[in-house]
Structure 1
Amino acid sequence: MHRWMDGVIGALLVLLVLVGALRWVDTTWRPVVVLQSVGPFVVIGLGLLFVGTLLLHRWWMLLPVGVCAAVAWAMALPTFFAHTVPGPANFTVMSANLYYGRANADQVMAAVRAHEVDVLVLTEVTPDVVDRLDTAGLTRLLGHRAGEAHADTFTGTMIYSRLPMTVVSGTANPAIEQTPSLQPEVVLTVDGQQVRLKAAHPMAPIPDQTAQWRAGLTALQRWKGDVPAGDRLVLAGDFNASFGHPGFRQLADGLVDAQRTAGQGWVRTWPVVGRRMPPFVALDHLLSRGLGVVKAGDVAFHGSDHMLVWASYTLR
């Protein structure tokens, strides 16, 4: 009986470690890409396995299970501690995926007002949802805009701003950015200082599209590298990738993720609506450089399969 229990514990340990180790495999093979999203479940699974091994008094199995669990916890725990800077904030950015234009415009506007948003990045924007947002008061609140709404649903991206902004690029070059979605770039004027902001919306890693998904992350990384080191920047949007993906970690290297900095721990922004499981992975991010994160959060809203994310920044 004891040998059987040791075998089960050992098999579960090997399985969890192998799945966890996939986060270091940079590949476009879709089964691996999908499994790279479940890292938090590996941490939870190792914790439960440690408790189960302890309760079963399988002492000699406790050491390898405990070591693996400790490594996983050591990687996860820092994300639960905030590293924000004291306010006041100079400006607030919010990003929302409108789910092919089906999102509830009134709830988006309620979130914009509640968090006193200065810049709003919207992906999957259609002309219909633009009209509904305008009716709800978006252009009266955030009068500057860049980007385009598209009837084909995935490719439309808009940036709305209360702050003065200069449009660097409002359209997309799929050959360069490796995504059919618009990824507008603007320069914001914040209290007399300039901040570069780019919308991000690479392809999702769906069947037959994982190579382009990975190429889209590389293109954003290339854009980051081309921005002069002293420039303040924000990358905001639906990245269709999490910190479990090597390509996203390479993109985020040297940048600050607002939700992690706020100590939100296991951030889950997808899937939200019309799914049989609760959200379990963070695909929506606000990445910055040269700015301090004062506070950040996420909000669920009807009509979208994503949470919206927001962050308040200081120029100090």
Structure 2
Amino acid sequence: MSARRVLWWVLLAVTLVPALLLSVLRVAELEQGQAVRLVSFAPYALPGYAAALLLLLAVVRRRRAARVGVLLALAGLVVHAWWLAPLVTGPTTEADGEPLTVMSSNLLRGRGDAAAVVAAAVADDVDVLVLQEVTAAVLADLDRAGLDELMPHRIGHPDAGEPPFADTVGTMVFARTPLEQPVRLGTELQSWRVEVEGLTLLALHSNAPTDPAGWISDHAVLREAARDPEVDLLVGDFNATLDHAPLQRLVSDGYRDAVEQSNAGWQPTWPDNGLFKGLPLPPLVAIDHVLTQPGLAATGVWTVPIEGTDHRAILVELRRR
């Protein structure tokens, strides 16, 4: 076998096999072990299938067996394109209510730059701010940067937590207008139900899938809370993408992701700032979300880098229908 042919087989294997694996995991909706984490990367099957298709088309006239591969790669390409299409296609939502801008940011054990968070909230005229992994130190920094004047109303509290959750437990909601009837949900990390601007909001932080049992348990709690017909929107770090079963269930319950509503395209939020095991990676997966019930429309979505944390902040402009 020539070196050129060996290279062709190697390239086909490294493009087609991972793509097939991601497709199987996405369809199977597995919620245990390494599979949960791998499903986060399901969108990357699309370029894998595209590359494999090009390799196969290059030899299909000479090798009949390649026709099977062409059909397989083409089918995978179509299926994943169908799954991703709502991010960029479809009618935008019409709404004429007053805008309400919501921002969510995970501060990575309180290491996120407090001044950058406040600056983003000011620049984009944020009305409601949801923060995860709030520590006492970063809360003091946020107030020194002017958050207490910008958003004088708050619920939740910083929480040092116990290992392995040290400095990750605290979730807080800040707002320009009063926050009413706060109720803590039963997730391992703090999550809250609160009323603001006449809306019922769930501020969420789920366990990471590195703890599959905790991840499953938290998402069961979140779904039960979200199924209350009075709830209008879900905001926070879900530690899950739209390809994961828990978010698929929320969509089946009537929620819509803000990115899809506004055709905002691919908006990954993690990891950022080269803070994944020291590797200089760009954001690869979208695990921070704003989901709404039909009474609200997302008319704009964007992300903002925050120095010191491994999550991009997500900002969404909402309007009542």
Please state which band the TM-score falls in when normalised by the shorter chain.
0.7 to 0.9
Per the alignment, residue 214 of structure 2 pairs with 212
Find the aligned partners of 1:149 and 1:91 in 2 and give their Cα distance. 25
Distance of aligned partners of 1:187 and 1:73 in 2 relative to their CA distance in 1, 3 Å threshold: same
Per the alignment, residue 125 of structure 1 pairs with 134
1:295 corresponds to which of 281, 300, 307: 300
Per the alignment, residue 156 of structure 1 pairs with 170
Q: TM-score, normalized by length of structure 1?
A: 0.87
1:95-125 Cα distance to aligned partner (Å, 9 max, x none): 0101111110111111101110000001100
Q: Contact between 1:217 and 1:251, CA under 8 Å: does it hold in 2? A: no
The one-letter amino acid paired with 1:224 is A
1:196 corresponds to which of 179, 197, 200: 200
Q: How far 1:300 moved relative to its partner?
A: 0.9
Deviates more, 1:48-57 or 1:150-159: 48-57
Q: How far 1:29 moved relative to its partner?
A: 2.3
Find the aligned partners of 1:74 and 1:252 in 2 and give their Cα distance. 16
Q: Contact between 2:267 and 2:302, CA under 8 Å: does it hold in 1? A: no
Per the alignment, residue 79 of structure 1 pairs with 87
Number of residues of Structure 1 aligned to a counterpart in Structure 2: 301
Find the aligned partners of 2:146 and 2:71 in 1 and give their Cα distance. 59
1:35-94 Cα distance to aligned partner (Å, 9 max, x none): 111112111101111122223445624233222212222222231236243556431111
Find the aligned partners of 1:87 and 1:268 in 2 and give their Cα distance. 28
Find the aligned partners of 1:181 and 1:62 in 2 and give their Cα distance. 46
Find the aligned partners of 1:121 and 1:77 in 2 and give their Cα distance. 28
2:74 corresponds to which of 62, 66, 75: 66
1:102 corresponds to which of 100, 105, 111: 111
The one-letter amino acid paired with 1:25 is A
Distance of aligned partners of 1:180 and 1:68 in 2 relative to their CA distance in 1, 3 Å threshold: closer
Q: Contact between 2:202 and 2:231, CA under 8 Å: does it hold in 1? A: no
Is residue 243 from structure 1 mapped to residue 259 from structure 2 by the alignment? no
Deviates more, 1:247-256 or 1:124-133: 247-256
Is residue 284 from structure 1 mapped to residue 288 from structure 2 by the alignment? yes
Q: What secondary structure, in the 3-state scheme, does the structure 2 residue paired with 1:52 have?
A: helix
1:218-261 Cα distance to aligned partner (Å, 9 max, x none): 11111111x22xx3511111111111211221123311211222
Per the alignment, residue 191 of structure 2 pairs with 183
Q: What secondary structure, in the 3-state scheme, does the structure 2 residue paired with 1:65 have?
A: helix
Per the alignment, residue 138 of structure 1 pairs with 147
Distance of aligned partners of 1:27 and 1:65 in 2 relative to their CA distance in 1, 3 Å threshold: closer
List alignment gaps of at least 5 residues for structure 1. none
Find the aligned partners of 1:180 and 1:215 in 2 and give their Cα distance. 9
Seq. identity, %: 32
Is residue 167 from structure 1 mapped to residue 176 from structure 2 by the alignment? no
Q: TM-score, normalized by length of structure 2?
A: 0.86
Q: Contact between 1:92 and 1:311, CA under 8 Å: does it hold in 2? A: yes
Q: Contact between 1:17 and 1:68, CA under 8 Å: does it hold in 2? A: yes
Find the aligned partners of 2:249 and 2:44 in 1 and give their Cα distance. 22
Q: CA RMSD in A?
A: 2.3
The one-letter amino acid paired with 1:72 is H
The one-letter amino acid paired with 1:266 is W
The one-letter amino acid paired with 1:45 is G
Find the aligned partners of 1:68 and 1:26 in 2 and give their Cα distance. 17
Q: Contact between 2:155 and 2:172, CA under 8 Å: does it hold in 1? A: yes
Distance of aligned partners of 1:10 and 1:64 in 2 relative to their CA distance in 1, 3 Å threshold: farther
Q: Contact between 1:84 and 1:295, CA under 8 Å: does it hold in 2? A: no
List alignment gaps of at least 5 residues for structure 2. 162-166
Distance of aligned partners of 1:130 and 1:14 in 2 relative to their CA distance in 1, 3 Å threshold: closer
